[in-house]
A and B are shown apart, each in its own frame.
Chain A
Amino acid sequence: MIIQTTNLTKTYRLFEKEAGLQGSIKSLFHRKYTYKTALSDFNLSVSEGEFIGLIGPNGAGKTTLVKMLTGIIAPTSGDLSVLGYYPNKLENTFKKQYAVVMGQKSQLFFELSAGDTFLLFKELYGISNEEYKKNLDYFIHLFGVETLLNVQVRTLSLGERMKMELIVALLHNPKVLFLDEPTIGLDAIAQRQIRSFLKEVNETRGTTILLTSHYMEDIKSLCKRCIVVNRGMKIYDGSTEAMFDRYQTHKKITLSFTEETAIELPQNCVPVEQNPLKSIFMVPLDISQEIIYKLMKEYSLSDISIEEDEIGSVVERIYNEGQVKR
């Protein structure tokens, strides 16, 4: 196993203060702390070469897990081993074997070109000239960013910047790549490019990848295995396909009407938003085609959009099922 955690737990002590000056004065003399368990008794085993998706709502504990696996923070209790190391010991030999990309925290120098950051990382990781050239050539061709190497980072688009973030993370051939929301805020084209790049890296280089994302498509198209985290606990660990088959049970339909319309929703549909010119509702997957066909026939529509169930709804269903079982 390349990653192994047993009963991994992280608890934060939070300082609590009532609002206003009175609260501030009170807190001067009487400190009130609360404890928040960000991750609880988390067990995880990851084999070499796996591409694993980590999903869950905001505050579920995904980023906390990634931070513990990369040694940024220390666990409160439990056992943890990544590539045979205890991450929070922060040993350089360990750090040379993994990379982390955080969608919301850049490691590029904004005032300089991406090429300058690449050179710094070459020194940081002690990459030989030959390996550096080989890897850089490979990645810039794969991403098609040959013309952007010498451009000041701050002038790059978000998508271009993320490509550079990934290249800089992969220059030293890491065995494990941790990705925390790498596609956040990107447009559909950039997201697709990033996905195909990650797939290629996983397949051709055998890099083990742990990906957290809010985007269903990232997880569906990349990860064979998926872990769902909610309120610091693992509530699902298994095949991504099986999870979506079982828990992605609805589609979200948005209808826009050419004129004010009072729509009567068919049975089994759950309204989300209703107004005379627009109707949004959830419809069970198995009868969605039939219902869409019926509605198109009955009403005068200016537009229709069909979306997949959001990741939050899937998580909620898994969580609710777990509650019922208990």
Chain B
Amino acid sequence: MKRNIRFIATLLKMKLSRMMVYRLSFFGGSLVDGSMFLLWLLMFQAIYSQVDSIGGWNKGQTIIFLGTFSLLNAINMTFYFFGVIGIPNKIRNGELDHYLTKPVNPLLRITFENMNPGSIPLIFLSIGIISYGASLLDITIHAATILLYVFFIVIMAILYYDMEIIVRTIPFFVISATSIERLEIAGLDLCMRVPGVLFRGVLKVLFYFVLPYGIMATVPTQILTYSISGDMIFISILVVFVFSVFTLWFWKLGLKHYKSASS
């Protein structure tokens, strides 16, 4: 564990060194994502100027939901997104060969080798949105609730990661998984804008248990706003657990099917 943390720290140092070589704009990516969430915030402001609640959620809850998704997205962008998106190419062009021959978990190295400190401001922006949403609620949020919320942010970030890995492990078995990546984008796009509580029937099953993007920001929001049942807390932990186990199994299965590319 200690060795892995030291290794991740080395990867971060190297990434920072690489960014400094090219003097990249640290904050370019987060500006785009930040403006997207601010636009949605404005859209919901306009909707709530006409109605009092959407699917039983008031303006404060919806803003916390938006901030929570923005926070998950910021964590994703800061820590693992830019590493994970390179997996299909590494499988196709045989670059994975070098990862497999080194004495460190290849998934760990790929995950953290392209961390992006440029997205850190988006984390603070998201916390700002969440705080604004909370200030609109007529409730007192206790420290224990905040801790539980933080715990759920961590496990939902893991679920987000699981979903990204599952989609990007498919190229071990098929030539191209572009259409599945498009499905991922569509699912995420929908669930970033529509709180999970609005889904009913098949859609609820789909976005809670099959493509669980629907619970990622909804459940932490419900925790922070005291609008969740004990059952739902248990179910969401179970969903994260099942998807994490499946992800690791699926990745290992993919490695067994790895054909490498001819040199």
Q: Which A residues form the contact surface with B (CB < 8 A)?
A: 12, 15, 59, 63, 67, 70-74, 88, 90, 92-93, 95-96, 98-100, 102, 104-105, 107, 109, 111-112, 116, 119-120, 123-126, 152, 180-181
Contacts and interface: CB of A to CB of B under 8 A. Distances in A.
Contacts of B7: 123-124
Interface of B: 3, 6-7, 10-11, 14, 17-18, 21-22, 94-95, 97-98, 100-104, 175, 255-256, 258-260, 262-263
Contact of A95 (B17, B18, B97, B103): B103
B106 to A, nearest CB: 8
Given A102-B97, A102-B263, A119 B102 contact: no
Given A72-B258, A105-B95, A123 B18 contact: no
A100 B94 CA distance: 14
Contacts of B14: 109, 112, 116, 119-120
B257 to A, nearest CB: 9
A165 to B, nearest CB: 11
B31 to A, nearest CB: 23
A92 B104 contact: yes
A74 B103 contact: no
A180 B263 contact: yes
Contact of A15 (B21, B104, B175): B175
Nearest to A100: B101
Chain A facing B: main interface SS:
mixed
Given A71-B101, A72-B260, A116-B17, A123 B6 contact: yes
A86 to B, nearest CB: 13
16 contacts: A15-B175, A59-B262, A63-B263, A67-B260, A70-B100, A73-B259, A95-B102, A102-B263, A105-B94, A111-B18, A116-B14, A120-B10, A123-B6, A123-B10, A126-B103, A180-B263
Contacts of A116: 14, 17
Of the candidates B7, B22, B259, the one having the most CB atoms from chain A within 10 angstroms of its own CB is B259
Given A63-B262, A93-B103, 19 more contacts: A12-B259, A15-B175, A71-B100, A88-B256, A90-B255, A92-B103, A100-B97, A107-B98, A109-B14, A109-B18, A111-B22, A112-B18, A112-B21, A116-B17, A119-B14, A123-B6, A123-B7, A124-B102, A126-B3
Contacts of B97: 67, 72, 100, 102, 105
Given A63-B263, A104-B263, A116-B14, A70 B103 contact: no
Nearest to B174: A15
Nearest to B98: A107
Contacts of A95: 101-103
Contact of A72 (B21, B100, B175): B100
A125 B101 CA distance: 11
Contact of B258 (A63, A73, A100): A73
Contact of A124 (B17, B21, B103, B175): B103
A83 to B, nearest CB: 13
A73 B263 contact: no
A124 B18 contact: no
